[in-house]
Structure 1
Amino acid sequence: MVQISWLRAAVLVLCILPALVDARIRHYKFDVVATNVTKLCSTKPLVTVNGQFPGPTLYAREGDTVLVRVINHVKYNVTVHWHGIRQLRTGWNDGPAYITQCPIPPKQSFVYNFTLTGQRGTLLWHAHILWLRASVHGAIVILPKLGVPYPFPKPDKEEVVILGEWWKSDVEAVVDQSTKLGLPPNISDSHTINGHTGPLASCPSLQDGYRLQVESGKTYLLRIINAALNEELFVKVAGHNLTIVEVDAIYTKPFKTDTILIAPGQTTNALLTADKNPGTYLITVSPFMDIPIPVDNRTTTATVHYRNSSLTTTALTTIKPPLQNDTSIATSFLDSIRSLNSKQYPALVPQTVDHSLFFTIGVGVNPCPSCINGSHIVGAINNVSFVMPTVALLQAHYYNISGVYTTDFPGAPLSSYNYSGPGPKNLQTMNGTRLYRLPYNSTVQIVLQDTGVISPESHPIHLHGFNFFAVGKGLGNYNPASDPAKFNLVDPIERNTIGVPTGGWLAIRFRADNPGVWFMHCHFEVHTTWGLKMAFIVENGNGSDESILPPPKDLPKC
């Protein structure tokens, strides 16, 4: 984790003080400031948390209540999203700006208050407004309840490994420029591993990068998080296999692999055993993109360093990263992930479906008189490009404020075409703040169909407020007559973020047992900015235990 020098410029500081009021309540203070990340060899200040890039790790146990006071000292509005935390009936604390809360203005604060119910594992927190999550992000480690062991061999030590992206320029300036031009933003200048860019020629002090210190014969649990904005990433460790035991805070059937694929917003827990000859072994992080779209194609590196070896005398064991478009490696890894589905941790897959939805996802082109080409790229779900409101949707729903949104989001495309083909001639999308309403405790199936309107592309889709089961996937167009027969309704993986295959489809199922307003969007930040997002309203059930809790008294106002 890179330490940062403070600047006087105002920024977001998340100052975490791990004081315990009792065994079940954890208090944290997230303060805020503009900081210069000296180890990035950059003179550009970043919005950071606690002067650290990435930010500090939030530790708690299953069943704990967590209170985090976020104080905003920067010029930007700020929110923090606790990515993957279910937020049962506490949607006010979920964090996406203008969806569940109005943002925290400069010089103001807000206390996030939520309970970790039925969850344990690795998740992440990050800013959920503008592109601030480029530097405002960190890990959430939820330990099992006291006395409850992991369902895999206990590791000797645990390490948080956060992958990210870094721009030499101000990220918000990059986004503003692309918006004015109507073109995609510039790609990042480097990937990062725990805040280190690796051996960049322009920054000789970083030649060693991040170093994972290990001892021969011991096993390490690597809590790997992809906090990058726009890229799926391959991870490899030279000479070592990794045993996957958890993804997105869900235990998996353990399996060995030499390559991990992890999309933005996803987490993967892997066991690494230091069973090789003492020495230094390269870790590589490189992008996966199976179509010719520009990405940051640099490979960032770190090292596994055996403590009983010397960096000056021991040769470095290297390894080549996968090819950027190696779909076979990506598919093999993803197909190996299954829920543990044990007696203690069952996979409660909905066997019947109350709401069957079909969502096309992709990009389009809309008129833009002020843009350089007279048009700009937009993202869309079922041809609807989401328009962000100026009043938080949950607030509008709770207080019955009219005119903020409609509940007519289409449950299927309004017109049919060859979704995985060239697409329709008219590339324009509809604009609107349109939501889909779900009764409490109803079961939902969504088939997410990638489209080739401009170009097919994998989309890591994140659903707030719920985990879901990935029951089926395939290439080409989804066939409702034959494809459901191949669904896995026994032990599919349960996640909160998952990639829709390039030029293909993915079917997910979940139970709508969490009342509130819940965001669903692509976790490529560029696509979210373009409008590839929507939201569900889940109605209250019967009684107070199945209803949204009242809003906090210090909830920010728009």
Structure 2
Amino acid sequence: MAASSSLRALILVFFLLPLLAEGITRHYKFNVAEKKFTRLCSTKSIATVNGQFPGPTLYAREGDTVLVKVVNHVHYNVTIHWHGVRQLRTGWADGPAYITQCPIQPGQNYVYNFTLTGQRGTLWWHAHISWLRATVHGAIVVLPKSNVPYPFPAPHKEVVLVLAEWWKSDTEAVINEALNSGLAPNVSDAHTINGHAGPLSGCSSSARDGFTLQVDKGKRYLLRIINAALNEDLFFKVAGHQLTVVEVDAAYTKPFTTDTLLLTPGQTTNVLLTARQGAGRYIVTASPFMDSPLVAVDNRTATATVQYANSVSTSAITTTKPPPQNATPVASSFTDSLRSLNSQQYPAKVPATVDHSLLFTVGLGVNPCATCANGSRVVADINNVSFVMPTTALLQAHYFNASGVFTDDFPGQPPIAFNYTGSGPRNLQTMSGTRLYRVPYNASVQLVLQDTGIIGPENHPIHLHGYNFFVVGRGVGNYDPKSSPSNFNLVDPIERNTIGVPSGGWTAIRFRADNPGVWFLHCHFEVHTTWGLKMAFVVDDGEGPNQSLLPPPNDLPSC
């Protein structure tokens, strides 16, 4: 018996040893292939990684080098983006198709090679081409260096929760039909938590359906929550429990307690849940937030279950009412509560001065289209430029000084000034082009993202690749360059990689351009990205090899 126990202990230590080490190289293999799944009373084949939905969680430590061999077994082109990973000088591993690489073609493979420098927390990975990220996504857990504790009470257990959307039909067909018609695509048929709509969904066959978190009374749990949805902001609640926010987008926060979280697509949030209730089951909900009356959303609520020890599946269940779909005060209260930890060990290094002051209008419009259903097409733009995807990767064109692929004349200010959040000029047609904004190495950038109401105001989750940024201000209405900065927080603003621009309002961010390469900026509502709400920064090399983009790898896919 003792020998058997010793063997189990040895096996356990051998299994955990890679997670206890640091500064090592971790190898993963992602096989992208189709697999049949049954959800919502229907069965369909979806693209998956290693046959899983959500895909496998990638574990590493701060300082590790990660190599992921991605093999494409589906009939679509594929890329994988490591969302939130800084990719310092390794833009070749960032993943957005035709921005930093040509896609991995069917039957081909590519090894993503990057080091997790100065980062720890919850990030995620997803396909970054067309709408494949609807099912091709998963978590990245970056643990702190060995013997470095969390700056919050240690949890008894850590749990990954991936929030997503599910369509009964093929998502590639959904967006292709919308592009052909010029209209908005169909909304999803359900939301999911770890791949399931949950026990309260219309297609649940029993109370046991859905994800269940088993807890022990009095113990503390770290929930690593990811919004992997394609097109919808999501509220998150646990019935009968308060949640203590300790991290967003892999950046520690000043802890605060709330009963409702808001995550835009692309954002991650870590919270502590303490099991203080009695025996029983408590419903977890993920429900949509959209405060624009013009925008259709999937109004179904995904559910999971927190189940206390000594409870059974027939125990009493405590439910919670999700916030209304248009609960702007709830969303704003959560967003306004976020502050960087700004401790001696984890300082908030906010640029105090600004070298490039930019104003980007983001929103939707309508352009003529002779072949479309209504003689017009919905388009999206930044500063009136609807981005055209190139056929050669922009990073390669930049590195090899190839001409004719892009221009570096993206406007730093709106080319036409108007009342952005008012009625607006309904006949304002967008321009098309592959235009980038050039920034010298180490320049400080202030970017104000301004929503527009040409069709109608709408919130936009904006993601910047290659960088974290500080959210120094936000407001309702039009940004005023004279008065708005007086309310900026330059002490402990929240640090993120994805930020929601409020409906009919603006958000101001700052970052230092200390990572050379070509870096995508786009709306993380996938439909808006498809319509053209995207652009890219080209950041020049600095002085010497440590401030310069590394050469491309030998196996970089070709177009």
Q: CA deviation at 1:309?
A: 1.5
Which residue identity does 1:65 align to in structure 2? T
The equivalent position to 1:304 in structure 2, one of 283, 303, 306, is: 306
Shift in CA distance, 546/18, structure 1 to aligned 2, threshold 3 Å: farther
Structure 2: segments with no counterpart, 5+ residues? 1-14
| Percent of paired sites with the same residue | 71
Structure 2 Cα separation of the partners of residues 54 and 434 of structure 1: 35
8 Å CA contact 2:207–2:313 kept in 1: the answer is no
Structure 1 Cα separation of the partners of residues 16 and 154 of structure 2: 25
Structure 1: segments with no counterpart, 5+ residues? 1-16
Structure 2 Cα separation of the partners of residues 206 and 541 of structure 1: 59
Q: Does 1:465 align with 2:466?
A: yes
Question: 1:4 aligns to what?
Answer: none
Structure 2 Cα separation of the partners of residues 108 and 121 of structure 1: 31
Q: CA deviation at 1:371?
A: 1.3
- The 5 A counterparts of 1:408-423 are 408-423=409-424
Structure 2 Cα separation of the partners of residues 343 and 103 of structure 1: 42
8 Å CA contact 1:441–1:512 kept in 2: the answer is yes
Question: 2:3 aligns to what?
Answer: none
Which residue identity does 2:457 align to in structure 1? P
8 Å CA contact 1:19–1:28 kept in 2: the answer is no
Which residue identity does 2:178 align to in structure 1? S
8 Å CA contact 2:38–2:44 kept in 1: the answer is no
8 Å CA contact 2:280–2:316 kept in 1: the answer is yes
Which residue identity does 1:302 align to in structure 2? A
Which residue identity does 2:305 align to in structure 1? T
Question: 1:239 aligns to what?
Answer: 240
- The 5 A counterparts of 1:59-458 are 59-198=59-198, 199-204=200-205, 208-292=209-293, 293-312=295-314, 314-458=315-459
Shift in CA distance, 18/58, structure 1 to aligned 2, threshold 3 Å: farther
SS at match of 1:472: strand
Which residue identity does 1:369 align to in structure 2? A
Structure 1 Cα separation of the partners of residues 159 and 457 of structure 2: 36
Shift in CA distance, 206/367, structure 1 to aligned 2, threshold 3 Å: farther
Structure 2 Cα separation of the partners of residues 81 and 274 of structure 1: 35
Question: 1:492 aligns to what?
Answer: 493
Q: CA deviation at 1:42?
A: 2.8
Structure 2 Cα separation of the partners of residues 25 and 160 of structure 1: 23
Q: CA deviation at 1:475?
A: 0.3
Structure 2 Cα separation of the partners of residues 466 and 206 of structure 1: 43
Give the alignment's Cα RMSD to 1 decimal: 1.4
8 Å CA contact 1:95–1:128 kept in 2: the answer is yes
Structure 1 Cα separation of the partners of residues 66 and 332 of structure 2: 37
Structure 2 Cα separation of the partners of residues 248 and 118 of structure 1: 13
8 Å CA contact 1:127–1:136 kept in 2: the answer is yes
Q: CA deviation at 1:32?
A: 2.5
Q: Deviations over 1:366-396 (max 9, x none)?
A: 2222211222111100000000000000000
Structure 2 Cα separation of the partners of residues 470 and 36 of structure 1: 41
Q: Deviations over 1:172-220 (max 9, x none)?
A: 0011111110000000000000000124334525763111111111100
Question: 1:14 aligns to what?
Answer: none
8 Å CA contact 2:284–2:303 kept in 1: the answer is yes
Which residue identity does 2:301 align to in structure 1? T
SS at match of 1:234: strand
TM-score (norm 2): 0.95
Q: Deviations over 1:92-144 (max 9, x none)?
A: 00000000000000000000000000000000000000100000000000000
Which residue identity does 1:353 align to in structure 2? V
Structure 2 Cα separation of the partners of residues 95 and 201 of structure 1: 37
Question: 2:11 aligns to what?
Answer: none
Deviates more, 1:220-229 or 1:421-430: 421-430
Which residue identity does 1:307 align to in structure 2? A
Which residue identity does 1:105 align to in structure 2? Q
Q: CA deviation at 1:299?
A: 1.1
Question: 1:549 aligns to what?
Answer: 550
Structure 2 Cα separation of the partners of residues 205 and 238 of structure 1: 20
Q: Does 1:481 align with 2:472?
A: no
Which residue identity does 2:429 align to in structure 1? Q
Q: CA deviation at 1:427?
A: 3.0
Which residue identity does 2:502 align to in structure 1? P
Structure 2 Cα separation of the partners of residues 136 and 39 of structure 1: 16
Question: 1:7 aligns to what?
Answer: none
8 Å CA contact 1:19–1:27 kept in 2: the answer is no
SS at match of 2:42: coil
Q: CA deviation at 1:40?
A: 5.0
SS at match of 2:410: coil
Deviates more, 1:154-163 or 1:25-34: 25-34
Structure 2 Cα separation of the partners of residues 29 and 530 of structure 1: 32
Q: CA deviation at 1:284?
A: 1.1
Shift in CA distance, 172/18, structure 1 to aligned 2, threshold 3 Å: farther
Q: Deviations over 1:296-323 (max 9, x none)?
A: 00111111000222222x2111111101
8 Å CA contact 1:18–1:26 kept in 2: the answer is no
- The 5 A counterparts of 1:525-540 are 525-540=526-541
Structure 2 Cα separation of the partners of residues 18 and 416 of structure 1: 58
Shift in CA distance, 553/193, structure 1 to aligned 2, threshold 3 Å: same
Which residue identity does 2:139 align to in structure 1? A
Q: Deviations over 1:348-380 (max 9, x none)?
A: 000000000000000111222221122211110
Structure 2 Cα separation of the partners of residues 358 and 528 of structure 1: 19
SS at match of 1:204: coil
Which residue identity does 1:128 align to in structure 2? H
Structure 2 Cα separation of the partners of residues 206 and 531 of structure 1: 43
Structure 2 Cα separation of the partners of residues 501 and 390 of structure 1: 33
Q: CA deviation at 1:20?
A: 5.9
SS at match of 1:153: coil
8 Å CA contact 1:72–1:106 kept in 2: the answer is yes
TM-score (norm 1): 0.95
Structure 1 Cα separation of the partners of residues 143 and 201 of structure 2: 36
Question: 1:55 aligns to what?
Answer: 55
Structure 2 Cα separation of the partners of residues 532 and 257 of structure 1: 32
Structure 1 Cα separation of the partners of residues 538 and 73 of structure 2: 33
Structure 1 Cα separation of the partners of residues 455 and 261 of structure 2: 29
8 Å CA contact 1:516–1:539 kept in 2: the answer is yes
SS at match of 2:528: helix
Structure 2 Cα separation of the partners of residues 326 and 302 of structure 1: 22
